[in-house]
A = this chain, B = another copy of it.
Amino acid sequence: MLAFLGGTGPEGKGLALRLALAGEEVVIGSRDAQRARGSADELRQSAPGARIEGMDNSHAAAAAEVVFLTVPYEGQRPLLEQLGSSLAGKVLVDVIAPMRFERGRGASAVDVAAGSAAQEAQELAPDSRVVSAFQNVSAEELLRLDADMEGDVLVCSDHRDAKELVMGLTRRIPRLRPVDAGGLANSRYVEQITPLLVNINRIHKIHAGIRIVGLGEIPPVTR
């Protein structure tokens, strides 16, 4: 079971939908259980037969072995403090890119004392295995089921088994390619690509992603 905490937002919904379509059992978490059930109902309409439930964040986290953090950065610390030791032993997938938006300046990265949101999560949930991934994947594209995804998912972690698990989940989404991007200290650079992509999106009117070139074959088109 995969939980998406704060999964009523576009990034969480998009990832949950794509992974549910791949056959994973998913649960949307929210502070408000009713809202989580609403999002789960909505996603099931896009993916008939998929196993998607909604619960409050605590129950969603407790039910899953792999817990995705898809809240805005401001919500990460209170959420992890609330969940406390219930995350022990679980794989925690941090999808958060700390950003702010200013009129006329666009998106910019928010500095994090720990180095990155993912390193902060590992400090706040020391008994979980944090993996940083999916920050650079467009939520809009995840939710557009008529097209394959495009782009690479840079995956950082200090826990090899957890990293491999998340790389395997990435491969379940057609055409997304996981790229081992080393230890959690590299997550800072991956998270900071997101405000850059947001600004490129605004200039070029696209939903940008990135690919690493030089790595060999890109997964084939599936439709």
Chain A interface (Cβ < 8 Å from any Cβ of B):
105-106, 108-109, 138, 141, 150-151, 154, 179-182, 185-186, 188-190, 192-193, 195-197, 199-200, 202-204, 206-215
Contacts and interface: CB of A to CB of B under 8 A. Distances in A.
Given A106-B182, A204-B214, 20 more contacts: A109-B189, A141-B214, A151-B214, A154-B200, A179-B204, A180-B204, A181-B196, A181-B199, A181-B200, A182-B200, A182-B202, A182-B203, A186-B196, A186-B199, A189-B193, A192-B192, A200-B212, A208-B213, A210-B210, A210-B213
Contacts of A211: 210-211, 213
A214 B150 contact: yes
Contacts of A185: 105, 108
Nearest to A210: B210
A106 B213 CA distance: 20
19 contacts: A109-B188, A109-B189, A150-B213, A150-B214, A179-B200, A179-B204, A181-B196, A181-B203, A182-B199, A182-B200, A189-B193, A189-B196, A192-B192, A197-B212, A204-B214, A206-B215, A208-B215, A210-B210, A210-B213
A116 B180 CA distance: 26
Contacts of A204: 179-180, 214-215
Nearest to A202: B182
Nearest to A151: B213
Contacts of A109: 188-189
Contacts of A186: 196, 199
B206 A214 contact: yes
B203 A180 contact: yes
Nearest to A136: B213
Contacts of A138: 214
